[in-house]
Amino acid sequence: MKEKKYKLFYPECIFNLDQISSSTFLYFPDNLATTMHPTVSIYNTGCDPYKFVKLIQEGNYKFGPKFFPIFEVFEASSKMMHDTFDILKPMYDKKYLSSIWLAYPRNKFALDKSDEIIKKSGLSIDELYKHIDKIMACQEFISHVLFEMFLEFYQDKIESIGENKNASYEETRAKNIDYRLLLDYCEDLFSKFSVEELLVKTYLFRLQQLDYFNDILISNNNLIPLLNSIKPEQPLKEPSYYDNLDVISWEIFRQLTDKYLSQKSHQERISKVIDLRDVSEEEIQALKNKCLKLGEQFKGEKNIETLENNIAEHVKIHTSKEIQDLLKLDKRIFENLIDSIFSDYKSWLGVSSFLTSIIVGNTLFTAGAGLAALASIGSKAYKEVADSKKKINDSEYALIYRLNN
């Protein structure tokens, strides 16, 4: 059986749905994948992070004030991760999205490799710190200390965690570990490096694995200057015309649709995406095809850093009027209907006589005329709605109409 290739959100995990465009779930096929957070394995080792924090406090270690804020981000982001997973669960259930548990080095060797990337980039720690995702960096740092280094120091003292699902947290923690080696390691680490340097180094753990993933969606646009600064050992193959077109097409699609999803709550976004993928596949494809046509017209910069702004101007020029006209259809139905009713003398004569007959009590005399008039109005309304539906269905921008309603 052929292994399924995923298009991976990378390098960050999706801690919050606002990190990414929900339009991604519409544009790309069913092989989209997210990754689990770096600290997901900590508790499987028997490590007790809260005991470690308590020992730092009791021992009055100098690195404590630097460590505690990182630990707090780790705690908060782990909860965010679980909450976001719950929101995305309907997507996972329908196989529109997958979740991957990545395994990669986060040890001292990986720290040294990060130094190589930093040197290669030619950027300072301060410059790099501006580009990294701080939440992901804190997660990676905690994983380095409380997973990789914990295992390195205490592997021989760890017993397999029982499979008793009713066991308490305390019962599943490794016993007879004083954490002294780990505490000393952290004391030495923070004495040698600033917090910013440590977070940059550990954040780069996943970027070291970039060669293994040839189909990714960058989950942090701030990384583009860093990625551009790293010169590969072998020259990269120039992207083909179709590769460039696909990037531009996706960016156009995102700019056209994202604002209609982002104004909804997280749960509403996912519900809308699922609904559209279930029943509006042809409209999704029609808009993608339109974006490819628009992409072919686009003659802007190839520079990825300026691409977004250039495409925004291109989209504004070439799509605004058609989309505005489409979104005004509901209003136009009402306006056209009122115009047609007011201009139809017979309809108003019949309705007015019908209403008058109700007032004077002589219903039988004018009921036929009144009902005929109401039927006439109804047929006008039906024609307006039918014409509107045809315009929507025939439009390449029909998906945007669905997103807006």
**In this predicted structure, which of 50-59, 168-177, 281-290 has the lowest mean pLDDT?**
168-177
Better-scored residue on pLDDT, 94 or 236: 94
Same domain, residue pair 137 and 265: no
**In this predicted structure, which of 38-52, 83-97, 199-213, 329-343 has the lowest mean pLDDT?**
329-343
Q: Which residue has the tokens 């992901």?
A: 136
Tokens of 362: 């002589």
**In this predicted structure, which of 121-130, 250-259, 360-369 has the lowest mean pLDDT?**
360-369
Same domain, residue pair 291 and 358: no
Q: Is the pLDDT of residue 352 over 60?
A: no
pLDDT at residue 238, rounded to an integer? 59
Residue 143: inside a domain, yes or no?
Answer: yes
pLDDT at residue 129, rounded to an integer? 94
In degrees and rounded to multiples of 5, residue 338 shows phi and psi of -60, -45
Same domain, residue pair 59 and 131: yes
Q: What is the mean pLDDT of residues 339-368?
A: 46
DSSP code of residue 313: H
The domain of 94 spans 7-229
Same domain, residue pair 209 and 97: yes
pLDDT band at 69 (very low <50, low <70, confident <90, very high): very high
Radius of gyration for the alpha carbons in the chain, expressed in angstroms and rounded: 30
Same domain, residue pair 348 and 398: yes
Q: Give the count of alpha carbons within 13 A of 388, CB side only.
A: 20
Q: Which of 323, 341, 368 is the last residue of a domain?
A: 323
Same domain, residue pair 66 and 163: yes
Same domain, residue pair 67 and 156: yes
Residue 2: inside a domain, yes or no?
Answer: no
**In this predicted structure, which of 85-89, 157-161, 366-370 has the lowest mean pLDDT?**
366-370
3-state secondary structure of 397: coil
Residue 147: inside a domain, yes or no?
Answer: yes
Same domain, residue pair 134 and 249: no
User: 3-state DSSP helix/strand/coil percent for the chain, to nearest 5?
Assistant: 70, 5, 25
Q: Which residue has the tokens 């860093």?
A: 226
Q: Is the pLDDT of residue 327 over 70?
A: no
Same domain, residue pair 17 and 88: yes
pLDDT at residue 291, rounded to an integer? 85
Q: Is the pLDDT of residue 239 over 60?
A: no
pLDDT band at 3 (very low <50, low <70, confident <90, very high): low
Q: Is the pLDDT of residue 304 over 70?
A: no
Contact 381, 351 (CB under 8 A): no
Residue 396: inside a domain, yes or no?
Answer: yes
Q: Which of 229, 256, 286 is the last residue of a domain?
A: 229
Same domain, residue pair 250 and 117: no
Tokens of 184: 């000393």
CA-to-CA dists, residue 20 to 164, 237, 343, 353, angstroms = 38, 28, 51, 60
- Provide the number of structural domains found in the chain: 3
Contact 288, 400 (CB under 8 A): no
H helix count then E strand count, the chain: 18, 4
pLDDT at residue 337, rounded to an integer? 46
Q: Report the amino acid identity of residue 329.
A: L
Residue 334: inside a domain, yes or no?
Answer: yes
Residue 236: inside a domain, yes or no?
Answer: no
Same domain, residue pair 336 and 247: no
The kind and range of the H/E element at 237 are none
Q: Which residue has the tokens 């301060």?
A: 126
**In this predicted structure, which of 67-71, 79-83, 333-337 has the lowest mean pLDDT?**
333-337
Cβ neighbors of 325 (< 8 A, separation 6 or more) are none
What's the pLDDT tens digit per position in 170-229?
A: 888 888 899 999 999 999 999 999 999 999 999 999 988 877 776 788 888 788 778 777
Residue 1: inside a domain, yes or no?
Answer: no
Same domain, residue pair 314 and 393: no
pLDDT band at 345 (very low <50, low <70, confident <90, very high): very low
Residue 234: inside a domain, yes or no?
Answer: no
Cβ neighbors of 310 (< 8 A, separation 6 or more) are 298, 300, 301
Better-scored residue on pLDDT, 349 or 32: 32
**In this predicted structure, which of 15-29, 145-159, 288-302, 381-395 has the lowest mean pLDDT?**
381-395
Q: Which of 323, 351, 386 is the last residue of a domain?
A: 323
Q: N- to C-terminal Cα distance for the chain?
A: 42
In degrees and rounded to multiples of 5, residue 152 shows phi and psi of -65, -40
pLDDT band at 329 (very low <50, low <70, confident <90, very high): low
